[in-house]
Amino acid sequence: MPLLTITDLQKAYVSPEGSQTHIIDIPHFEMEEGSQIALRGTSGVGKTTFLNLIAGILGADSGRIIIADEEMTALSESGRDRLRAIHIGYIFQTFNLFAGYTALENVMLGMMFGKGIDAGFAQHLLERVGLGDRMGYRPSQLSVGQQQRVAVARAVANRPHLVLADEPTGNLDRHHANEAIALIREICAENNAGLLTVSHDEEILGQFEEATDFAQVNRA
Amino acid sequence: MKKRISLLFIVRRSLRQHALSTLITTLSIALGTGLVMAVIGIKSQSVAAFTGGRIGFDAVLGARGSPLQLVLNTVFHLETSPGNIPWAMYQTMKDDPRVELAVPYALGDNFHGFRIVGTTGTLFTKFEYRDGVRFQAQGGGRFFDPTRQEAVLGNYAARKLGLRLGDNFTPYHGLVFDESMRHDEQYTVVGVLEPTNSPSDRVIWIPIEGIYRMEGHVLRGDGEDYVAQPGQEIPDEHKEVSAVMLKFRNPQIGFIMDATINKQGKVATLAWPIGAVMARLFDKIGWMNQILALVSYLVIVVAGGSILASIYNSINERRREFAILRSLGARRKTVFAVIVLEAASIAALGVIMGFIVYGAIFTAASAIVRAQTGIVLDLLKLHPVFVIAPVCVILLGTIAGVVPAVKAYRTDVATNLTPIS
Ligand SMILES: Nc1ncnc2c1ncn2[C@@H]1O[C@H](COP(=O)(O)OP(=O)(O)O)[C@@H](O)[C@H]1O
Ligand SMILES: [Mg+2]
C-alpha cells in the first residue's frame, strides 16, 4: 500500500484581477512507505501549494489525496487538521519556530495536537539532532543552523508517516545546508517517515538518489 | 485532559509574552471587581450594623424633634443633641412596668473629641449591648461610684487617648473639642471596658451627677435656670436628661408609646424602633451607594473592554503563531479556545487580585467607620457578592475574548506561514 496517492488533483487561485489561475493539475503522483522523494522546481511553480494541499492546509478544488489509507480530500477542514496532526510533519524554509518557547517546548508543541506529548521522546529527538545541551534555549538564542535542527526534530515529533520539506535549507549556507539534508534524510529513515522535499536548489537536490522535475508531475 | 493542560500552557506563555498588557488589564479587572465587592460588602455590613444588632435598646426618648438625630446622638454618639427633657420623664419611664430598662443619658462634654456621657450604674448592671452580654471592665477596673468624679472608658477611647486606670483628666465643654472650653473638675479613670465593637467603645462614661455639677452647666429641668451648688443635693425638678434609652418588655409597647408620645404628645419624641429610624437614613443616602456601585460596574465594563482591545490588537502580530499551530494540526476552534481562555484567564487573575483590592479598600473603609462610629466591620464576613462578582467578571472576560477569538479563528494558515517577502 502506498504512503501517498494523488489522482487528478486540481487547485486554482483567484488572482487579484478576479480570473482563475490554475496552479496545480496533477493527474497522478505516488509515494511508497518510507521513500524519499525530491521535486525540483523554480520559484512560483506551485511547490508550496502542492505541499499545503497534501498537508490539508489548503483544500483541493478537485481530485483525491490519500495518505496512509485516509482520504484527505474527503474531509472537512477540521478532519484535515486531525489527519495532519497525526500523519504529517512539516519543515518550512523559514522554520516557523515559536519565538516565545524553548527548543524543547517547540518540539513538544509539535506533539500536542497528534498522539500527545511525550517529553522523553522530545528530549531524545533534540539530542539526536545534536541540541542536547540547548533544550532550554529560545530560537533567538540559537544559530540559524540550530533553529533548523529544532524544526527538523519538531517535524518528526508526532511520529508522522510523511515529512514535507519546503525548501528546508533555504536560509542556510552551503555547508550547513548539506548537513541539514543529510540529517533530515537520516532522521526520517530512523522514524519510518517518508520524505517529500521540494526545492529549487540543485545542490540540495543532488543529495537525493534522484530528483524529479515538478513540471513532470504538475501539468499546470 | 492532556490537551486542556497544553492549551493552558500556551495561554500562560502568551500572557507572559504580553506581560505589560496582561498586567494592566489584570489590574483594571482587579480594581473593578475589588470596588464592586467593597461597595456592596461594606454597604451590607454597615446597614446591618447600623440598623440591626449590637444596639441593645429598642427606643430612645428625647426632646421633640428628629428621631434620626436622637438616634445618631445617643446610640451612635454622632451629631448634636436635639435638646433635653425633664428628669421626671425618665422617672416615669423607669417606673413604667412595661419598660424593662430605662437608662438616662446626659450629654454636653467631651475629652479630646471623645464624648462624655453621664449615666447611671444601670448601664453597667442591667444593659446588654448584645443578647446576654453586658459591659465588662478590663482587669483591675470597676464601674464608677455615682457620687464621685470617676470615669469608665470605652475601649477604643481609652486606647486612642492613652488613658489607663488611675489616670486623671479634665472634661471639656461641648460635644466638639475646643481647647479653651476646659472644665476645672478632675476625673479619675476607674475602669476601661472590654471591646464591644460597637459605638460604646468611643464613649467616656461618668456619673450623671457629674454632668449636673460640672462648672458652668445650667440645668433647666423646670424651665428656670438652676446651677448645682457643691455639697447641696440637686432637687429632681431641676434635673434634666438628654435622652432616655429604653428597652421594652415586648414590641407592642413600642406601638402604644409611639402613639401616646409621638402622635398625641407634644413635648418629647420617641425614636422607635431604632433599626427602622436608621434604615430610613440608609434609604435616604441609598443613591450615594448606587452611584458608587454604578462607578464600580463601569470600571468592570471598561476593564472588560480593555481585555477585548488588548487581545484584539495582539492578534495581527500573532497570526503567524496561529498559522504554525494550525500547521502542527491545531484546529480552528483550538485557536479560538486559546484566545477565549486567554481572556478568561486575565479575568480570573484579575478576580483573584480583586480580593486583595477588596481587602485594601475594606480595611481602609472599616478603619474610618471604626474611628467615626466605633462599629467594627468584619473583613471576612461572607456575602453573596464574593461569588456573584467573580463569576460575572470571569463570564464578562470570557465574552470579551470572543471578539478577538473570532479574528484569530479566521486566520488563514497558508498565507501566514510564509513571511511576506
Ligand atoms: N493565496 C494565494 N492567492 C493567489 N495566488 C497565490 C496564493 N498563494 C500562492 N499564489 C500563487 O501561486 C503560485 C504558486 O505559489 P507557490 O505554491 O508558493 O509556489 P512555489 O512554492 O513553487 O514558489 C504563485 O504564482 C503565487 O503567486
Ligand atoms: Mg514555495
pLDDT at A1 over 80: no
**B308-330 tens-digit pLDDT:** 999 999 999 999 999 999 999 99
Grid cell locating A210: 534522484
Spatial separation of the C-alpha atoms in residues A143 and A152, rounded to whole Å:
14
**A197-220 tens-digit pLDDT:** 999 999 889 999 889 999 999 998
**Rounded to 5°, angle at Cα A163 from A161 and A164:** 140
Q: Is B328 helix (H, G, I), strand (E, B) or coil?
A: coil
Contact partners, residue B131, CB within 8 Å, separation at least 6: none
**Stretch B215-235: mean pLDDT, rounded?**
85
Contact partners, residue A89, CB within 8 Å, separation at least 6: A110, A154, A155, A156, A157, A158, A160, A162, A163, A164, A193
pLDDT of residue A171: 77
Return the residue of B nearest to A110 by Cα: B328
Grid cell locating A30: 505516488
**Stretch A82-104: mean pLDDT, rounded?**
95
Mean confidence (pLDDT) of chain A: 94
Phi, psi of B364, deg, nearest 5: -65, -45
pLDDT of residue A210: 87
**B329-378 tens-digit pLDDT:** 999 999 999 999 999 999 999 999 999 999 999 999 999 998 888 888 88
Spatial separation of the C-alpha atoms in residues B213 and B185, rounded to whole Å:
9
B2 contacts in A (CB within 8 Å)?
116-117
**Residue A48 CA to ligand 2 centre (angstroms):** 4
How far is the alpha carbon of A85 from chain B, nearest alpha carbon, in Å?
4
**B105-137 tens-digit pLDDT:** 999 899 999 999 999 999 999 999 888 899 999
Q: Is B385 helix (H, G, I), strand (E, B) or coil?
A: helix
pLDDT of residue B2: 52
pLDDT of residue B421: 47
pLDDT at B54 over 60: no
Contact partners, residue A7, CB within 8 Å, separation at least 6: A27, A28, A63, A64
Q: What's the length of chain A?
A: 220
Q: Which residue from A179, A1, A4, A165 is spatially nearest to A93, judged by alpha carbons?
A: A165
A113-117, B162-166, B322-326: range with lowest mean pLDDT: A113-117
A112 touches chain B (CB under 8 A): yes
Return the residue of A nearest to B1 by Cα: A116
**A120-157 tens-digit pLDDT:** 999 999 999 999 999 999 999 999 999 999 999 999 99
Spatial separation of the C-alpha atoms in residues A120 and A162, rounded to whole Å:
22
pLDDT of residue B269: 94
pLDDT at B53 over 70: no
Complex-level ipTM: 0.95
pLDDT at B240 over 90: yes
DSSP letter assigned to residue B288:
H
- In this prediction, residue B47 has a pLDDT band, given cuts at 50, 70 and 90, of confident
- Using only the alpha carbons of chain B, give its radius of gyration: 31
Q: How far does CA A170 lie from the centroid of its chain?
A: 14
Q: Which residue from A154, A49, A139, A144 is spatially nearest to A91, judged by alpha carbons?
A: A154
CATH superfamily of the domain spanning A34-60+74-217: P-loop containing nucleotide triphosphate hydrolases (3.40.50.300)
Per-domain residue ranges of chain A: 34-60+74-217
Contact status, residue B62 vs residue B82, Cβ threshold 8 Å: yes
pLDDT of residue B131: 85
pLDDT of residue A140: 96
What single-letter amino acid sits at B340? Answer: V
* Region at B81 (left for phi over 0; alpha for psi -120 to 50; beta for the rest): beta
- Proportion of chain A above pLDDT 90, given as a percent: 88
Interface of B with A in 351-380 (CB under 8 A): none
Grid cell locating B88: 421626671
- In this prediction, residue B5 has a pLDDT band, given cuts at 50, 70 and 90, of low
Spatial separation of the C-alpha atoms in residues A72 and A160, rounded to whole Å:
15
Grid cell locating B166: 488611675
